[in-house]
A = this chain, B = another copy of it.
Amino acid sequence: MGSALFDPLFGADRVAARLDDASWVAALVAVEVALSAAAAEQGLVPEADAERIAAVAAELDVDPAALGRAAVEGGNPVIPLVRILRQAAGEAGRSVHPGATSQDVMDTAAVLLTGWAGEIVLDDLRGAADAAAALAAAHRDTAMIARTLGQQALPTTFGLVAAGWCAGLDRARTGLACVLGALPVQFGGAAGTLAASHPHGPAVAAGLARRLGLADAAPWHTERTRIGELAGALAVAAGACAKPATDVVLLAGTELGEVSEAAPGDSSSMPHKRNPIAAITARAAARRAPGLAAVLLGAADHEHQRAAGPWHTEWQTLGELLRAGGGAAGRLRTSLEGLVVHPDRMLENLARTTTDVAAGHASDLVDSLLAARP
């Protein structure tokens, strides 16, 4: 998951670095280490074993490709990773993976990774929103023509347009932060009954959560509403980026010319072109999100006590959706942080329709929207 060739262009390089194979391995190992420690805390395994496992894990050099090949037989990378850890830990190996099932470790690692990558997405959403807010403040009273259904309508201000961008980005960020902050550990054991850690299961889960900085929860092996909420929040974030990105592309068009990017792309054969590449690639990334979200939302029908397919569908799709949403935010941020506004062209265009630049309540709306920022 990730492409050195395409990730920078689509703004996904920062996010992708937290979602690559090495990050998965790191997250899986971190979960196993924390799990042994949490189990030791409850007396399920010796403290010394847990410490030994942590020490061994810190030195462990797991090749993702080898782990990937070894994952085929059992159906997930946790099975061979546990084997590797057990072997490396010697006698303490008996205390690796205590009371757990593969899904406990995969799900918790996925949550960890999502948090790591999500931080970048949130940061870029914040950056893009801040840039929009700065544009709104700077252009609170800059008159431009509002366009509805593609046609010039009545005057507005560029400040109000940018404040609307900011509002959408802020709402999307708040929603995503809320979902990310509530993602819990998974700990249920082979049948979701906490049988192998009985009666200490809930305490182990709580300890695991504390150690990993995640929320605690009852086992949710096949209760996937959280994954669906995450998918929805990421697609909403992508949509909140698609709106300003689309506006930038349209406003930067030659005939409108009301904005341009700081570093527009040129063309070897057409030096007059000023392509708003950051906004274009933000749009491109954002368009990938709804279909990816639909895959995750459609994978909610986990059968029985562990799904035979829908669960596995989530793994790569989640990474792709984080890259799409994060990429959209990253590229939009670049676009907005450097956006150059051309008030003269705005006035010139507006003059096609009216000489009156009164824009109703526009400037006041900018003030109230900016004041209400989270």
Contact = CB atoms under 8 A, between A and B. Distances in A.
Contact of A304 (B148, B239, B283, B293): B148
Contact of A252 (B77, B150, B287): B150
Given A5-B77, A164-B220, A283-B313, 4 more contacts: A153-B305, A219-B365, A228-B239, A288-B295
Nearest to A67: B5
A316 to B, nearest CB: 6
A243 B268 contact: no
A253 B147 contact: yes
A265 B160 contact: no
A267 B147 CA distance: 13
B287 A299 contact: yes
A287 B295 CA distance: 7
28 contacts: A5-B24, A5-B77, A8-B72, A9-B77, A148-B273, A148-B306, A150-B280, A151-B252, A153-B273, A156-B192, A161-B305, A167-B218, A167-B223, A172-B225, A189-B360, A190-B267, A193-B359, A193-B365, A240-B300, A243-B301, A247-B303, A254-B353, A255-B255, A272-B353, A281-B312, A284-B311, A287-B313, A290-B294
Q: In the complex, which range does the number of interface residues on chain A fall in? A: 35 or more
Of residues A190, A225, A253, A353, which shows the largest number of chain B Cβ atoms within 10 Å of its Cβ? Answer: A225
A71 to B, nearest CB: 5
Given A146-B193, A274-B151, A306-B148, A229 B232 contact: yes
A1 interface: yes
Interface in A57-110: 64-65, 67-69, 71-77, 79, 82, 97, 101
A211 interface: no
Contacts of A157: 193
B368 A269 contact: no
Contacts of A311: 284
A171 to B, nearest CB: 4
Interface in A217-242: 218-220, 222-226, 228-229, 231-233, 235-236, 238-240, 242
In the complex, the count of this chain's copies comes to 4
Nearest to A334: B72
A360 to B, nearest CB: 3
Contacts of A274: 151
Nearest to A22: B5
Interface stretch (A37-45, A115-123, A196-204): A196-204
Give the 5 A-B CB pairs with smallest separation, nearest first.
A232-B232, A239-B300, A195-B360, A283-B309, A148-B306
Of residues A6, A20, A266, A320, which shows the largest number of chain B Cβ atoms within 10 Å of its Cβ? Answer: A6
